[in-house]
Amino acid sequence: MDIELMIQKAEKCVQQFDKKHNEIIEHNSKKVLDAFIKCNVGNQHLGHSSGYGYDDIARDKLEELYATVFDAEAALVRQQIISGTHAITLALSGNLNPGEELVYLGTPYDTLQTVIGHNNNLPGTLSKAGIKYREFDLDYENFQINDILSFISAETKIIAIQRSRGYSWRNSLTIEMLEKLITPIKEKFPDKIIFVDNCYGEMTDKLEPTNIGADLIAGSLIKNLGSGLVPNGGYVVGKEELVENAAYKLTVPGCGREVGASITDNRPYYEALFLSPMIVGEALKGAVFAASMLEQIGFEVSPAPTAKRADIIQAINMKNSENLIAFCQGIQSNSPIDSYALPMPSPMPGYDCDIIMAAGSFIQGSTIELSADAPLREPFTAYMQGGLNYYHVKYAIINTIKDMYAKGLI
Ligand SMILES: *Cc1c(COP(=O)(O)O)cnc(C)c1O
């Protein structure tokens, strides 16, 4: 194994990727700065509040800023939203009444399947609230739009699409593909709501789903838009009425967005959004480097090193559990926090097999920071994402590969 030669090749891939992607970083950096200026964000907006949170100008301005960045009517950006799953659940449950139907194009992310409740008997699911559910078996490469249009029924209220691959071996939906889905659906069904799970997709392209017809989107603030700085939270962005309905679920009917104090300073929320085009770029470059290095060793990777990327996830088929565990342990031991911890596969709620997670991050569970997760099952796929600094990812991958080589695994 000539690791120096491999590094040279991988860096060429990164340069090739950069040539196209730098334009997106520049475009999005300008978009975000313009939004800050247009919204007149001032020092008075960076603080926190208490109690009910009436007239919390920091929170209200942050929501105005998010709406502006996403070119949408309204936004709900809250510390009380505990995760991406929570944000998505608010968007869906706030806009679905008993008897109405949710249609998912493709299989939803694991935790959302639990929320929808078609495969469990938990209290509080959409299912238990009388919401109907059907799933369209979406071919991500080559879908037949007419099949989708005829799948949608009179009862369908929301059509939901997941932008990112999540933790499955499929292509992410690029903005172009999303547009090919959304435009004809909107033409035939202008009154139905198009919802996009935007997790992991933010700032990977010049446009966001709201620019191409999505009515409502949601995501996590410890992923792309958190830049490793935001301590917690989630967002829902879209049409005024739909966002207000989500806010009624988060707080209470009648109060909606008017309440909910910013318990901690809003400064990192603003700063993270400002930096996110660049940080997402760093993570993407890291993913390109990792894909090239691991592909050169002989592992199957998705996406391919220089392919167009629509999210920050890099899937790597590690062939067996020993490689998978060694890879995740290598990422952990090259992390700024908890480098001394040795991650081991263990059971996790909601999964039918053990999971191993490498997360040496400043913010617990933050996946815009370098991290890797994997279910211990065939085909032993590792999902690596994040990296606040390309050189951190590069160094971590090189060291991990060297360790695996020394152990005789590769
Ligand atoms: C991460 C993720 C979620 C859920 O977000 P959490 O913050 O982990 O609850 C939902 N959908 C997709 C595609 C994701 O990547």
Phi, psi (degrees; rounded to nearest 5) at 206? -70, -30
pTM: 0.97
Measure 95 CA to ligand 1 centroid, in angstroms.
19
174 DSSP assignment = P
Measure 220 CA to ligand 1 centroid, in angstroms.
7
Measure 384 CA to ligand 1 centroid, in angstroms.
14
Weakest-pLDDT range from 106-115, 264-273, 351-360: 351-360
Confidence of residue 1 (pLDDT cuts 50, 70, 90): confident
Instruction: Using the predicted structure, report yes or no on whether residue 18 has a pLDDT greater than 80.
Output: yes
Query: Which residue's structure tokens are 């409502």?
Result: 216
Query: Within 10 A of 88 (CB to CB), how many other CB atoms are there?
Result: 31
**pLDDT > 70 fraction of the chain, expressed in percent and rounded:** 100
Among candidate residues 310, 312, 323, 316, the one with its CA nearest the CA of residue 287? 312
Q: What is the mean pLDDT of the chain?
A: 97
- Residue 156, ligand 1, Cβ within 6 A: no
The pLDDT assigned to 350 comes to: 61
> Which amino acid is present at 341?
A
> Which amino acid is present at 328?
C
Measure 249 CA to ligand 1 centroid, in angstroms.
19
Weakest-pLDDT range from 198-212, 253-267, 293-307, 342-356: 342-356
String of DSSP letters for 307-371: S--SSS-EEEE-SSHHHHHHHHHHHHHTSSSSTT-----B--TT-SS-EEEE---SSTT-SSSSE
Please give the angle made by the CA atoms of 165, 169 and 173, to the nearest 5 degrees: 30
Please give the angle made by the CA atoms of 131, 136 and 137, to the nearest 5 degrees: 140
Q: What are the angstrom distances between the C-alpha of 8 and each of 284, 292, 322? A: 18, 10, 27
pLDDT digits (tens, 9 = 90+) for 260-302: 999 999 999 999 999 999 999 999 999 999 999 999 999 999 9
- Residue 81, ligand 1, Cβ within 6 A: no
Instruction: Using the predicted structure, report yes or no on whether residue 141 has a pLDDT greater than 90.
Output: no
- Residue 266, ligand 1, Cβ within 6 A: no
Confidence of residue 353 (pLDDT cuts 50, 70, 90): confident
What's the rounded mean pLDDT across residues 38-57?
98
What's the rounded mean pLDDT across residues 322-341?
98
Instruction: Using the predicted structure, report yes or no on whether residue 349 has a pLDDT greater than 90.
Output: no
Instruction: Using the predicted structure, report yes or no on whether residue 146 has a pLDDT greater than 70.
Output: yes
Measure 201 CA to ligand 1 centroid, in angstroms.
11
The pLDDT assigned to 305 comes to: 97
Q: What are the angstrom distances between the C-alpha of 156 and each of 15, 131, 134, 301? A: 45, 10, 9, 37
- Residue 164, ligand 1, Cβ within 6 A: yes
